Chains A and B, each alone.
Chain A
Amino acid sequence: MLKVDNLSYAYTDKYLFENLNLYLDIKTIIKVSGSNGSGKTTFLKNISGILQDYEGEILYLNENIKDISSPNIFYAGHKNGFKDNLTVGENLKNDLRNPEFDLDKIKNYLNDFGCEISFSTPLGNYSEGQKKKILLSLFASVNADLYVLDEPFSNLDDEGIDCLNEIFRQKVSEGSSIVFTSHENQGKSSQEINIDDFKND
């Protein structure tokens, strides 16, 4: 599904990582680990096509990621893309990653996360953990081939972590693949890469 060939990325003159190779098959979960500032988020932005000034090649379904007009990739970054002044419902309904807004589906996932959320309350009234659960409920309700998630386990309580692992298992059984970052020992994955291994100091 996703093939990364000799990927290198440099900020100004300093390479964050060099010659990174990766093959992601369908029904696979890859955990990207590494120390703070090692380039985990940058790597996720590379494979999602957000940052395209890298060296090397990224192929998504045998096509260069830069040339694909609408890849079926769901990206959830460290910043959630939500607006605090809008209500939870308005944020979810107007989220571009969510082409078919299914309120009941999202409500069910929020219940699974043990999260009591009013859709008519401004998002800014909720804590970071609750916002994370709202974002993850959105992720769970959207159908995509590849999910790219930055630190999905941060700010989550134990119940949330178990629930997210279960959603991961469910997504993979449906034929999707997941790439996520974590610098903690959280999240079950079939493969793991450490960005620090691709540094050339």
Chain B
Amino acid sequence: MTRLAKRIFYKELVSYKKRSSTYLSPIVFFLITIALYPLALSNDPADLAFLAPGITWICVLLSTLLSIQNIFNEDFEDGSLDIFFSLRVSTLSLVIVKILVNWIFSSLPIIILSSTVVFLLFLPSESLVILLTSLLIGTPVISLFGALAGALSLGKSSILGPAIVLPLSLPILILGTSAVSSFLNGENPSFYFLMMLAIFIFLLPLICYACIGALRLHYE
């Protein structure tokens, strides 16, 4: 079964690489929205630095939404899910592989690009590590919610995706921005990191099994 999971992982990588819109759209969306804030809000570096953690996190959340909700839809439409089930591929491996590859392509580039907020939003460079760490821990949770939304809305309208992901992601958004803000205020942000990590560890098995149930629901 591990061999099959490896083959799915490789196929997903090849498929995502060829489907450039999946990872380019979130990147372009992120860069444009981040660049618009200084124009619309203020050009005062102090104001922007104060708002930077929140703005960055909101932009990351909205950007990842663009690709995450279709995580299972293509496989459902082209019949790949039928083949997975006929081969008795472990649904758990399938769900984990799909979430992992989606995170690599939709969230990781944005996390790297969020370094640009040091220039665009005047975020103090010493807090960049804190921002990146919060995104590294927080975005996998958003990917989990996205996978659940994708599995639930299989073959249906995509409005269900954001309706599920956005409300569920609010705690992560609050913790992520609080981590950076607390660091800027001279406090230790480790509490927020630990909370986000705890949420991820708690949700990982829960959402994976919920995804399996939701996928199976379409085959009953």
Contacts and interface: CB of A to CB of B under 8 A. Distances in A.
A15 interface: no
A120 to B, nearest CB: 12
Interface size class of A (residues with CB under 8 A): 20 to 34
Contacts of A83: 15, 18, 74, 78, 80
Contacts of B220: 51-53
A71 interface: yes
Given A83-B15, A94-B7, A68 B79 contact: no
A109 B11 CA distance: 24
B88 A51 contact: no
A82 B88 contact: no
Interface in A75-113: 75, 77-86, 90, 94-97
A77 B84 CA distance: 12
Interface string B1-17: 00010011011001100
Interface in A52-75: 52-53, 68-71, 73, 75
Interface stretch (A17-25, A42-50, A157-165): A42-50
B89 interface: yes
Interface string A142-169: 0000001000000000000000000000
Contacts of A81: 78-80, 82-83
Contacts of A68: 88
A49 B85 contact: yes
Interface size class of B (residues with CB under 8 A): 20 to 34
Contacts of A70: 87-88
B47 interface: no
A50 B85 contact: yes
Given A45-B82, A81-B82, A85-B19, A90 B88 contact: no
* Majority DSSP secondary structure for residues of A touching B: loop
B219 A97 contact: no
A111 B106 CA distance: 40
* Majority DSSP secondary structure for residues of B touching A: helix
B86 interface: yes
A75 B86 contact: yes
Contacts of B10: 94
Contacts of A75: 82-83, 86
B73 to A, nearest CB: 13
Nearest to B79: A79
Contact of A85 (B18, B77, B85, B86): B18
A127 B7 CA distance: 27
B84 to A, nearest CB: 7
Contacts of A86: 14-15, 18
Contacts of A78: 79
Given A51-B219, A85-B15, A85-B18, A73 B86 contact: yes
A96 B77 contact: no
A97 B82 contact: no
Interface centre among A68, A70, A85, A90 (most CB of B within 10 A): A85
Interface of A: 45, 48-53, 68-71, 73, 75, 77-86, 90, 94-97, 148
Interface of B: 4, 7-8, 10-11, 14-15, 18-19, 74, 77-80, 82-89, 219-220
Given A50-B219, A69-B88, 11 more contacts: A48-B86, A49-B86, A68-B88, A70-B88, A71-B88, A77-B82, A79-B77, A94-B11, A94-B14, A96-B7, A97-B87
Nearest first, the 10 A-B pairs at minimum CB distance are: A79-B79, A75-B86, A94-B11, A53-B220, A81-B79, A50-B85, A48-B86, A81-B83, A85-B18, A81-B80
